Chain A
Amino acid sequence: MNPLKKLFESTRTHFSGSGKFKALAPLFEAVETVFFLPSHRTRHRPFVRDSLDLKRFMTFVILSLLPVLFFGIYNTGLQAGLAGGKAYTVSQAFLTGLTYVLPILIVTYAVGLFWEILFASIRGHHISEGFLVTGLLFPLTLPPTIPLWQVALGISFGVVVGKELFGGTGRNVLNPALTGRAFLFFSYPLTMSGDVWIAGKTAVDGVSGATALSVLAPEGQSITAALADSGFTLSNLFFGFIPGSIGETSALCCLLGAAFLLLTRVANFRVIIGGMAGLILTSLVFSFIPGDGGSWLKAGPLYHLCAGGFLFGITFMATDPVSGPGTDPARWIFGFLIGFLTVTIRVANPAFAEGTMLAILFMNVFAPLLDHMVMKYKISKRIPNV
């Protein structure tokens, strides 16, 4: 027998029956199933089953996030270096970034898993693989300068209020990672907006830490020129060498993740394509509205697509199947409206520079309604059979 398997078999007694750690049975089970794919016999028809399970499903989301994660770590270091007037090599930048990002990651997983295990143990549920995704998504939406106690608070709110209060995985209305972020955003605006996007910046004066979306052109200058003056050229926005939340800056890495999710069909393409269509159409229409040429109203689709967290949100957050709609037509509408709302909030609401988070959460709330309407329509098309 595999020595690992032996180890699990010998410790199993402590976690089951009358063992000392019986309460932690879900934890034992979760660790064991990471190592060994469980494979019970089928008891009901069909007697054959697909090889895909939820663990692999969620693992693929994590795989798709790796480019974003690694680039985010690198960029955090790079921006810190730039702010400090130092030109880092790739490995220097990565290691510097790691000193900021790793603690956030560790705190998120430690605190989040604590809640997961607590709820799973009390309820006697399995520990859901979904948390591995939530636990990686949440840090990537935060500025690298966020205090760690706020990270702990945010993920606690996301997991407990965003998910467990509704009954746990599969029953939450809102995306837990975004719920946690929204909680921090509204509770601690000072650490979540403004000059917070560059780690280590406080040491040096004279570097603006704002994101591209808070740029406003002075009288007579176009928004794109003003963006370029602040370092936000389209190519910088696309590749991601700009300040911002850890994971959101690189449009390219988000697109790589999206491509992976679409090729493996883990994410539903309707949400992503619908979202992009919504954003592009809305920003195109807005660019024809007469008005101030120096605001994001006139930025056009490409800038709207690459700036801010839209691509990150639509690829990794909006495609969360639990908080999104469950029918295909509703998925199109859901995606489209997220794109539409993102641009609308960016352009029309001076209080919020970025609209992706709010757009997704707002549409999360509406997802059941969209499903309800689609089901009503579908029923009307079916020949009744009662």
Chain B
Amino acid sequence: MGGLSFMEEMKLVKGFKPALAGKPDQSVIYLPDPETVGVSVMDIPYIRPKILVKENDPVKTGTPLFCDKRNPRIQYVSPATGTVEKIIFGERRRLKEIVIRLQGKEDFIRFETLTPEAVDTIQKPDLVRLLQEGGLWPCFRQFPFMDTADPDLEPPMIIVSLNGNDPFSPHPGAVLEKEFSVFEFGLRVLGKLTRRIVVSSRQSSLDQLNGVKNHVTHQVPDLYPAWDPGVVLYRLKTTVEENRSWCISAEHLLLVGKFLLTGTYPVKRVFTVTRPGDQKPHIIARQGSPVKALAGRFPDRSLITTGRFNGRPVDPDSHLGFFDTTLNIIPDNPEEELFGFIRPGISKPSVSRTFLSSLFKTPKELDCNLHGEERACVNCGYCARICPVDLEPSFIIKALLSDDIEDALSFGLLDCCRCGLCTYVCPSKIELTHLLSDGITAYYKDKQ
């Protein structure tokens, strides 16, 4: 890896085509440190957390807060210096987040550093240990379950995705600006873990990438979710072994690079906040900042998510997680329309052609309403028509509902990247993504 590489253009026609309102601005603002930060568990897949601190314990930046019982060496660390203010549990005493109140001057836990020259000589076990101690191992995710990567495995491929999960996730230009050398260093570190590194980028992001552009191996169309690592893997894979590939976001790769270069836990992250009718700048703030601090003022009853298609809903009083990079403020539109089923719908967002809006390319505002009621599946085929990994979601759902996991798997259940588009288009309002996701999770747990 390294140096100039040839960029391949990926063709993909399935995805979400309508333009969306509320695209964030390219400018960047810095948010002052908040009073509290949190480390959320809600965005960590399959974790069984073991808490390592007590309330009122003093913590430094980099102090481990909890680890994963499945592999206690994988730790999650504090992104600030202060005291543990609160450990918040949810239903069935499941840990939700640990809140740190910022106090005093920032004090870092010091880790070993790795110079660019030493990358070639460091042994893989040492590298893994360093990243695990520093709380950065979770940056690596492993297909097909998108679980935290198994450090004992050599992945056939690591996909570095320059773009986040939401159409309006932070622009890689804003994330990688001035960090070119760190990014290159990160790529060299990846070379210690795998033989094949794929760097994918949305077409629209390429212009502002400068030097990073030379490292992009695959360019994908500007069509959600073409840049999702799951979609990229589906397009690239040629063997069964590649189903166990890993992925990492470009921002996380930067964190890995910075951590190894400085020996301290990197705390600054780039966020976007999207809202219809608003163009908010990119925000640089501390990891785990409060949702309210980033979101600012928003209309009542809005739904806040970390990805309108494939994120999670967040409580305004909670803190952003390690993997969260965007907040979508989605308005609620509770008004029930008279004769809604027959209105021409000039401004209704739809990928179908049953609204006049399909004739106009103006950006559409999406709200958080279902626009209908759940009905039986009528086999209309809208889900298959939009699935970026060529699944037949309705067939898989029917297999899952009849407990036929073998059929569901052979139909490609594990290729599902949970982009949410099948559910988005379903006129019967069936929770396809939820059912698919539950099916994948159930299969994962069954295998443990």
Which of A's residues lie within 8 Å of B, judged by CB? 2, 4-5, 33-42, 44-57, 59-60, 126, 128-130, 168-171, 263-266, 268, 321-322, 324, 326-328, 371, 375, 378-379, 382-386
Contacts and interface: CB of A to CB of B under 8 A. Distances in A.
B337 A37 contact: yes
B163 interface: no
Given A45-B434, A46-B420, A56-B354, A326 B379 contact: yes
A52 B352 contact: yes
Nearest to B333: A39
B424 A48 contact: yes
A41 B434 contact: no
15 contacts: A37-B339, A40-B373, A41-B368, A45-B418, A47-B309, A47-B368, A51-B355, A52-B350, A53-B429, A57-B427, A126-B375, A327-B384, A328-B384, A385-B409, A385-B413
B238 A57 contact: no
Given A48-B424, A379-B410, A169 B350 contact: no
Contacts of B420: 45-46
A52 B355 contact: yes
Of all A-B residue pairs in the complex, the 4 with the closest CB atoms, nearest first, are A37-B340, A53-B372, A170-B376, A46-B420
B368 A56 contact: no
B411 interface: yes
Contacts of B345: 51
A52 B56 CA distance: 52
Nearest to A379: B410
A96 B420 CA distance: 53
Contacts, number: 222
A170 B334 contact: no
Contacts of B308: 46-48
A34 B372 CA distance: 11
B381 interface: yes
Contact of A44 (B237, B340, B431): B431
A213 B411 CA distance: 45
A264 B355 CA distance: 8
A57 B353 CA distance: 10
Contact of A45 (B378, B413, B423): B423
B341 interface: yes
B375 A265 contact: no
A5 to B, nearest CB: 7
Nearest to A263: B353
A140 to B, nearest CB: 20
Contacts of B428: 53-54, 170
Contacts of B144: 385
Contacts of B54: none
Contact of B376 (A47, A168, A375): A168
B238 A39 contact: no
A53 B424 contact: no
Given A40-B370, A42-B370, A170-B428, 6 more contacts: A45-B307, A50-B424, A128-B376, A264-B353, A371-B395, A378-B392
Q: Which of B340, B374, B428, B433 has the most CB of A within 10 A?
A: B340
A322 B379 contact: yes
Given A46-B308, A55-B341, A384-B410, A170 B434 contact: no
